[in-house]
Amino acid sequence: MPEAASAQAARATIGDSEFDRDTAVTRREAGVYDIDLNVGWTIQNALNGGYLLAVLGRALADALPHADPFSISAHYLTASRPGPAVVRTDVIRTGRRLSTGQASLFQRDEEGQEVERIRVLASYGDLDALPDDVRTTAEPPAIPPMDQCFGPQDAPDRVAGRSAIADRLFLKLDPSTLGWAVGAPSGKGEMRSWFGLADGRDADPLSLLLAVDALPPTAFEIGLSGWVPTVELTVHVRCRPAPGPLRITITTRNLAGGFLEEDAEVWDSTDRLVAQSRQLASVRLG
Amino acid sequence: MPEAASAQAARATIGDSEFDRDTAVTRREAGVYDIDLNVGWTIQNALNGGYLLAVLGRALADALPHADPFSISAHYLTASRPGPAVVRTDVIRTGRRLSTGQASLFQRDEEGQEVERIRVLASYGDLDALPDDVRTTAEPPAIPPMDQCFGPQDAPDRVAGRSAIADRLFLKLDPSTLGWAVGAPSGKGEMRSWFGLADGRDADPLSLLLAVDALPPTAFEIGLSGWVPTVELTVHVRCRPAPGPLRITITTRNLAGGFLEEDAEVWDSTDRLVAQSRQLASVRLG
């Protein structure tokens, strides 16, 4: 169980947690939802792309007859800012096993004009209705025990440049993928970490949309610095995660032409591969 | 060079080939394109999903200020049939480096009602404008020489169940991933093949959208039979492919709950990783 959670009097629960409050959308009319994007999920000044995807995913879960994102594809258009935003959804098709929808996140610019931030296509289903056959050949990641890993909780509080999201997440990174943090990147495009929410809330399909984009960019370990903005991110949620901390691996194999892919695997406490994602990101070579 | 091509008097060229003719869209009005989906790209009675993605990709290349699909995400809604179809595109955002658009493929049902087949989100750019830095750690696939691989060309013509697409493609599959064809699947979710177009047309970014979905499903080699319909397919085109045959690997690591992912890598004749894709597909356990 995450230390940050066990240190609390009571752990937050699914439905009553920072993540749930900060991704809650208010239905204004059919298919239209209001949200106040919370500054607590910013990295430096940018809102985390996984947090934004979870907001869109929650709106679609309300708009569609199915609740779980089986496959959700997001194209990031402009940088979102903390504050008011509107999610507009469109039900494309509803079926017995799967429903497909579209959603867009909008904010108003200085002139009050609506600007689209993100557009999403997603196929939703019911994870609990799937047969329990598993023939996965993928192996759970080898990450050292939590007490041998390191995260923001191990750093002095309030250091310059500390991002707000560090207080929302429970991250314990594998030291062998932390070389970048001490100026000695491994050169390998890998990042591995234990993952949880700081208030102890267990994972669910919507929080997995945050999890896949919550680790430091693999570009750091390749030896690059600077911003790595996401162009497109697609997440497959394959199973409802069991309670307890998650293990996440991010791998980059193809850095070329100023772009790279980040492949994420999310494993739950029962060694089940619960989510896979891939994103295309733009890199500034440092 | 593909044998099927060298056997011809003259190889087809980019812009003048079966693939170009069968994916050509006719602009009816701004953003709306007509196409006659060609029966030549069917597997049994179903049109290949990669062929359909290439049709949508060609329409978006015309509708957007950029010509190359950097990332294109397709959600498959209903089965397309050979015959007339309409592609409706929407320009979401145009930028200097990237433009983002949406496209939908429609056909009319028996009652003459328009039915949406596929919806796509895509970010387009200019592959030729990218810096030539390459830091890929991925290794080209080990596929035996072409003359030690097997494809439809090696099978007796006109056998029962031969699919039309077999005459459009040049496939030479690695024998070690062909066990399923002789009733002895390896149990590993891997498929490897040389790939080209039967008329010798070289690859370009649009034909890569076909290539990633053109091999037999990995499910066969896992020992499953039956149909493996695509739910969602996202392709990253990372480089303009060099002339000559491509090598494609498809890998499945997570078959569970009646779904699996298929990860494709496409390598060109200069050992450059030119495309990566992932799809979520539904499987009927056989």
Taken in order B56, B57, B58, B61, the sign of the CA dihedral is positive
**Nearest beta carbon to residue B100 from set A77, A130, A134:** A77
DSSP B69-128: EEEEEEEE-S---SEEEEEEEEEEEE-SS-EEEEEEEEEE-TTS-EEEEEEEEEEEE-GG
3-state secondary structure of A166: helix
Does pLDDT of A286 surpass 80? no
Name the token pair of A167. 């207080």
Nearest CA in chain B to A135: B255
pLDDT digits (tens, 9 = 90+) for B189-239: 999 999 999 999 999 999 999 999 999 999 988 888 888 999 999 999 999
Contact B280 A232 (CB under 8 A): no
pLDDT score, position A1? 46
Question: Which residues face B16 on adjacent strands?
Answer: B13
| Beta-carbon separation of B133 and A75 below 8 A | no
Instruction: Please tell me which residue of chain A has the smallest CA distance to B188.
Output: A137
**pLDDT one-digit tens code per residue, B57-71:** 999 999 999 999 999
How many contacts, defined by CB atoms under 8 Å, are there between A and B?
170
CA–chain centroid gap for B214, Å, is: 5
CA–CA distance, B226 with B204 (Å, rounded to integer): 31
Residue whose C-alpha is closest to residue B115's, from B74, B79, B90, B63: B79
pLDDT of A156 higher than 70: no
ipTM above threshold 0.90: yes
pLDDT of residue B159: 59
Low-confidence stretches of chain B (pLDDT < 70) are 1-9, 156-161, 285-286
How high is the pLDDT of residue A9?
57
Query: Which residues are paired to B37 by β-bridges?
Result: B83
What pairs with residue B104 in β-bridges? B88, B119
Of the candidates B234, B257, B11, B251, the residue with the CA atom closest to the CA atom of residue A233: B234
Is residue B119 within 8 Å of A92, Cβ to Cβ? yes
Q: Say how far apart CA A166 and CA A175 lie, in whole Å.
A: 18
| Residue (of A245, A265, A146, A170) closest to A202 by Cα position | A245
Interface test with A, best of B60, B73, B123 (most A CBs within 10 A): B73
Distances (CA, A) of A243 to A10, A13, A248, A270: 15, 11, 15, 9
Q: What six digits make up the tokens of A55?
A: 């907001």
Q: Which residue of A135, A139, A260 is the best one to mutate when testing the B interface, meaning the one whose CB has the most B CBs within 10 A?
A: A135
For residue B19, what are its two tokens?
Answer: 């693939």
Residues of B in contact with A234 (CB under 8 A): 73, 232, 234, 278
- DSSP-assigned letters across all residues of A231-260: EEEEEEE-SPPPSS-EEEEEE----BTTEE
C-alpha torsion sign, points A64, A67, A69, A73: positive
Q: How far is A257 from chain B (nearest CA, A)?
A: 5
How many angstroms separate the CA of residue A232 from the nearest CA in chain B? 7
3-state secondary structure of A28: strand
Strands B42-43 and A68-76: unpaired
Cα angle value B242/B247/B249 (rounded, 5°): 135
**Which residue matches tokens 């409050």?**
A21
* DSSP string of A214-233, one letter each residue: -SPPHHHHHT--S---EEEE
What is the DSSP secondary structure assignment for residue A71, as one 8-state letter?
E
CA distance B273 to chain A (A): 8
Residue of A70, A250, A254 to mutate for B, most B C-beta atoms under 10 A:
A254
pLDDT band at A152 (very low <50, low <70, confident <90, very high): confident
**Percent with pLDDT over 90 in chain A:** 81
Which whole number is the average pLDDT over A218-241? 93
Strand order through the sheet with B32-37 = B26-29, B32-37, B83-94, B99-108, B114-125, B68-76, B230-237, B273-282, B259-267, B246-251, B190-197, B169-173
Contacts of residue B135 in chain A, CB cutoff 8 Å?
A: 222, 255-256
Q: In degrees, to the nearest 5, what angle opens at C-alpha B256 toward C-alphas B41 and B230?
A: 20
Give the containing element (helix H, strand E) for A59: helix A49-63
